[in-house]
Structures are given as structure tokens and as C-alpha cells.
Amino acid sequence: MNIHERLAAFWSGEKPDKIPYTIYFWEWQHTMADPAWLPMYEKGLGVTHHLSTVRSHTRDLEIIHEDYVENGTPWTREIQRTPIGDITQTWEKGWHRKYLIENANDYRVMTYIAEHMEFSSCYDEYLKAEQEIKPYGIALSCIGRTPLQYILVDYIGLENFAYHLADYGDEIRTLYNVMRKNFRRTVEIAAKGPGRFISNLENFTAESLGPKRYGEFLLPVYEECFPILQAEGKIVGSHYDGRTASCKELIARAPIDLIESLTEPNEGDQTLDQARAAWPNKLLWCNIRVGDYQLPPDQLRAQVQDMVRRGTPDGSRLAFEVSEHIPVNWRESMPVVLDALADM
């Protein structure tokens, strides 16, 4: 099998010839010209590309980007200008320093932006990009985050989220309900488009919401929208790169086919055997802990093979990936992982 056939078997819940192993494009792109990757492709490593089949446009919105230097440090400012006001965000050397929403008026402006969004398909662009990907590349159809995760991760930031729930609860829910309609429209377009695997880049971690908020904000969207994709033969995977144990019963109920970026403790809070017990029928596309890549080769090999034994009773429904941080010693450690998987 090649990496495409291996992943197709994994997504179908079948047993591939060996456990798939992939790396995100944006973790790989900075060193893509390094010849050290070539033997890894031969051993089966794949590179996943998150592409969109949906295009959005907002009426009456002007977006302005400004680069400037402050105290010798490069900054970027983005201004989103609407007829009812502006919202801004800033980054220092790529790190988010000011988020778009800080007060009730910012919620009003962001709700206006969401209300004026229009959606259309871009299937041809997806297919063109897919054709340009190298043979070891895999195209994934990306639908972004669900509404509350967009609000939390992109519009408010984790540090302010709890305060906003207390101070601006009504404003959050108003924006959420508008964005929920937009997300359904995105899903409807993606469902009819190319790409078997649908990537929902949630960046979920349970301590930011807990079961109550998961049940209020995430589960209803999953239950409304993901069956639309599944009815068209799509496999839906949600990027849960943090802690999951406190919400594991709700996650079990959610119509998510695949939990993606799952990581064992201490980065996450469930081992693979615990996750398999909690979600016996879900596919698991897992990270290897970053620290494990620093183990001596024999110990890394043993760790990977132990994860396989604990994560899949029959060799199906399990894959590995590098989706959070590329190991600093990737040239030495990632071939060990590939060899360990090949020898099982």
C-alpha cells in the first residue's frame, strides 16, 4: 500500500498493511527541501495539506493590514472596517497580542460581519491544488472550527474567555447563533464537494469549556451539521489536541468519526487504551509526545509499538501524525517511528 491507500483503509475502519504516519504541511514546509525527507517518503510518510472547498466573502467589509516596528520588534495590525465600526487585532513576531473582541461594541461589529458573510464553492481550486501535491501529499477538506471555538480561539483568546462568558454572555450567544447558520452553510457546500476526509480544526481542550459548555455549544452543532457530511460519505475528524477526559462521555455521543491530534499524558489526559475504551468505534489519529522523540532509538521504538498495541486491538482505526510541534531531532527520530510501525 502507498500512503493514500493506507489512509483510505484507516478512514474506512479497516486494517492497512501498516499504521499510517503523517505530518502537517505547516510543520514540514520550513524544511521541505531537506533531502533527509526523501527516504521517509519511501518508508511511507505522508504530508497532509488542509485545503478548502468553500469560499467566503463579507459584504461591506474592508480589511487593512499594517506592519510596523515597536521597540525594535516587528508587529502586525489588522483592522476590520465596517459601516458600524472597526475591530482590530495585533501580533508581535507572529504571536497574538490583541484579539478582535474586547467589549460589547466589538461583539456588535463582529456580529454584523458574520451576518453579512456569503459562501460559495471553490471545488475547482481544491482539485487543482490536490493535483499539484506530490505523491506523498494528502489533501484534506478543511471546514475550520465550529462557532464557539472560533470565538474562543480566534476572536477572544483563552485568557479572556471565562471573563467574557460572565460579562458578555448574551453577546456571545447572539454571535454564536449567527455563526452557527454560517457554519451549516459551510458544511452543506463541503458535503457536496471533493475530498473524503473533512478536517474540523477545533483545537479543543476540555479545561477551557468543561462538560456543561461542551453540551451547550459544541455538541448541538456536531449533531446538526456532521450528519450532513456523513450522509455524503465523508469522514469527519475533529482536532482535539488537549485534554478530553472530563468530556469523554459527551465526545462518545458526538457524531465525530475521528479524534485527531489526540496526545497521551502529560500533554493530554487520556492514554490510548483509555481513549479506546471511551470511544471504541472512533478512529484515532494520534500524536506521539514531543518528549518521546528524544528517547534513545530502542526506547522510542518500544514506546511506539506499545502505543499501537494499546490503541488498536486488531491493527485498525489508528494512525499517527506530527501535528503540533516537529521534533527538533526529526531527521533521526521520525525514521525510527516509521521503522517501528513497519515491523509490527
For cell 475504551, the residue is 277
Q: What would the grid cell of residue 166 be?
A: 460572565
The C-alpha cell that represents 68 in the structure block: 510596523
Q: Which three cell numbers stand for residue 57?
A: 466573502
Q: How far is CA 2 from CA 16, 69, 168, in A?
A: 10, 48, 50
Yes or no: say if 218 and 149 are a contact pair by the CB < 8 Å rule.
yes
CA-to-CA dists, residue 339 to 41, 90, 308, angstroms? 12, 44, 13
State the cell numbers at 67. Answer: 506592519
* Phi, then psi, of 274 in degrees rounded to 5: -65, -45
The pLDDT of residue 236: 98
- Looking at the domain 3-59+116-342, which fold is it? TIM Barrel (3.20.20)
Rounded to 10°, the helix 169-191/158-167 angle is 120
- pLDDT in 10s for each residue of the chain, 344 residues: 999 999 999 999 999 999 999 999 999 999 999 999 999 999 999 999 999 999 999 999 999 999 999 999 999 999 999 999 999 999 999 899 999 999 999 999 999 999 999 999 999 999 999 999 999 999 999 999 999 999 999 999 999 999 999 999 999 999 999 999 999 999 999 999 999 999 999 999 999 999 999 999 999 999 999 999 999 999 999 999 999 999 999 999 999 999 999 999 999 999 999 999 999 999 999 999 999 999 999 999 999 999 999 999 899 999 999 999 999 999 999 999 999 999 99
Residues 6+ apart with CB under 8 A from 266: 289
- For the chain, give the secondary structure using H, E and C: CCHHHHHHHHHCCCCCCCCCEEEEHHHHHHHCCCHHHHHHHHCCCEEEEEECCEEEEECCCEEEEEEEEECCEEEEEEEEEECCEEEEEEEECCEEEECCCCCHHHHHHHHHHHHCEEEEECHHHHHHHHHHCCCCEEEEEEEECCHHHHHHHHHHCHHHHHHHHHHCHHHHHHHHHHHHHHHHHHHHHHHCCCCCEEEECCCCCHHHCHHHHHHHHHHHHHHHHHHHHHCCCCEEEEECCCCCHHHHHHHHHCCCCEEEEECCCCCCCCCHHHHHHHCCCCEEEEECCHHHHHCCHHHHHHHHHHHHHHHCCCCCCEEEEECCCCCCCHHHHHHHHHHHHHCC
Strand order in the sheet with 85-92: 62-70, 73-82, 85-92, 95-98
Domain boundaries, the chain: 3-59+116-342, 60-100
Letter for the amino acid at 195? G
User: What pLDDT shows up at residue 87?
Assistant: 98
As a whole number of angstroms, the distance between CA 77 and CA 334 comes to 37
pLDDT at 313: 87
Its sign, for the CA torsion 255, 261, 265, 266, is negative
